[in-house]
Chain A
Amino acid sequence: MISLKKNIAVSESGFVFNPTTGDSFSLNGVGTDILKLMKDGKSEAEIKSTVRTWYDVDQDTFDKDYYDFLKMLGQYKLLDAE
């Protein structure tokens, strides 16, 4: 399962700091929510259904955006791939 690296902190304002690399990032609202859900250890299915109950978005659109977002998280070395 793909999960967020343990030492990554996500603040309310959507600020993320990666203490391993020293990089910092900013997220928009949906991005912040996804990272927080990941941080809480939610599964992919749980994250998707939760976001879709919070936001007005259809499944196909969100699926596509979600995978693109995960790819960016991977590229920024914020994920643990197990």
Chain B
Amino acid sequence: MEKQRYERPIIRRLNTGVMNKFGTKTEYEPVTHIDDCAVKDLLADYGSPLFVISEKKIHETYQEAKRAFTTRYPKVQFAWSYKTNYISAVCNVYHQLGSWAEVVSGFEYQKALKNGVPGSKIIFNGPDKTVDELKLAMENKSLIHIDHLDELYTLTELCEETGIRPKVAIRINMDTGIYPMWDRFGFNYENGQAWDAINKIVLSDRMDLVGLHCHIGTFMLTANAYGVAATKLSELALSIQSKYGKKIQYIDMGGGFASKNTLKGSFLSGYDTSPSFDDYAEAISTSIMNAGFVEDELPLLILETGRAMIDEAGYLLGSVISNKRLSDGRKATIMDFGVNIMFTSFWYDHKISPAQEFSHHTEDTVMYGPLCMNIDVVRENATLPPMKRGDQVVVHTVGAYNMTQWMQFIALRPAVVMIDLQGKPHLIRKREELTNIDQQEQMPDYLKEFKL
């Protein structure tokens, strides 16, 4: 007689406590394959845990975003936000699709150059640009987005020194009716700082003010705020034109579009509630189109959206290390991945699916990571089938920020695999080894030996 598939015995109490109109969710539906690659095989080949990027999903999302904007606005350019995911293979997928590079540090700038992005297609953002980095960006004809007055003064000095006339934009912050208002970057629109900077740039006549940039927030669940921001930038562009006779060539709306993740504490699934590219595109395009530009003088619209572009294309595969019973009777599951490599679990309830079939029975469990740290909680409460040591899971929507904000803390960082459009996996970042970390360290001679 063939034996039945085993599943850990579970018992679950029905309807205890107060009746709640809407209680826990059932999220469980096994995910055994990603783009035709078996989860089981991927983990066997590249080890557990493992980040997986779907090139197919990147393409689909990019085309979706492109369609949403280009059907509404004539001149659109995407720039890949390096900080969201700067693994070079990932960047190059976006560059092949036509994205420029958007960087916020000298390190990212170098990475973009190394990937082969022409200097003139690199947007250099952020509050921290050194003198050497600015000089390099000027020589490369990159688009320098000025964040503060000190940077403007440094840049002016460099212009005198080198005789180069750089292309610049200024970053504007403003009230778009959302909370919290991001006013720490750039120059404020409402209190006149922005005009002050614009006047200085134009009157110094050492650089070309070609663009206006803003980035109003992150994980923006309302598309309207972008409409407000686009209107304000357009008005500013038109006033510059009428005051100085200078045409602003582009408006850069930054990023901050929400992905399909579910923020902690929210009631409905992010998959359903996050605005679509169409929503954002409608708000932004309508505002610029209605601002009063002459039709063939509409500025280029640049978008630096990172999270909404790649979040869904990233998966984290992992395995169960152990099951535990906590002192209060709750079930706990320890996974081989934690907040060290999945930083975003601090603010999202990531969807987690088992990678093998189970019966329909589920139990509530706390999901912990493998770190010896109390804060290492992947999900405070997940409803999953009874998993045993070695069972595998798929964490969804982890493509943004995790592969850049991950920490080499306690454990080494896992490998990253990209599944290409034909469904073939490629290793794009090797699993870290001791030597990768060790080679950066130096040992003074007197500490080389000891006796215990």
Contact = CB atoms under 8 A, between A and B. Distances in A.
Contact of A54 (B4, B359, B389): B4
B197 to A, nearest CB: 65
A30 B6 contact: yes
21 contacts: A16-B11, A23-B13, A23-B14, A25-B11, A26-B14, A26-B361, A27-B11, A27-B361, A28-B359, A28-B386, A29-B7, A30-B7, A30-B9, A31-B9, A56-B3, A56-B5, A56-B6, A65-B9, A65-B388, A71-B325, A76-B11
Given A61-B388, A71-B325, A26 B12 contact: yes
A54 B3 contact: yes
Interface of A: 14, 16, 23-31, 34, 53-57, 61-62, 65-66, 68-69, 71-73, 75-76
Contacts, number: 75
Contacts of B11: 16, 25-27, 31, 69, 72-73, 76
Nearest to A30: B9
B290 interface: no
B192 interface: no
Interface of B: 3-16, 323, 325, 329, 359, 361, 386, 388-389
B13 A55 contact: no
B9 A66 contact: yes
A61 B90 CA distance: 41
Nearest to A55: B6
Contacts of B4: 29, 54-56
Given A56-B4, A75-B329, A24 B10 contact: no
A53 B4 CA distance: 9
Contact of B3 (A28, A55, A65, A66): A55
Contacts of A66: 9
A72 B364 CA distance: 14
Given A61-B388, A68-B325, A27 B3 contact: no
Contact of B10 (A28, A53, A54, A62): A28
A63 B15 CA distance: 29
Contact of A25 (B3, B6, B12, B359): B12
Contacts of B10: 27-28, 31, 69, 72
Given A24-B14, A24-B15, A34 B3 contact: no
Query: By CB atoms of chain A within 10 A, which of B7, B359, B386 has the most?
Result: B7
A53 B15 CA distance: 34
B9 A28 contact: yes
Nearest to B362: A28
Given A16-B11, A30-B7, 11 more contacts: A23-B16, A26-B11, A26-B12, A26-B14, A27-B12, A28-B361, A31-B10, A55-B4, A61-B388, A65-B8, A71-B325
Contacts of A73: 11
A34 B7 CA distance: 12
Query: By CB atoms of chain B within 10 A, which of A16, A23, A68 has the most?
Result: A68
Nearest to B2: A56
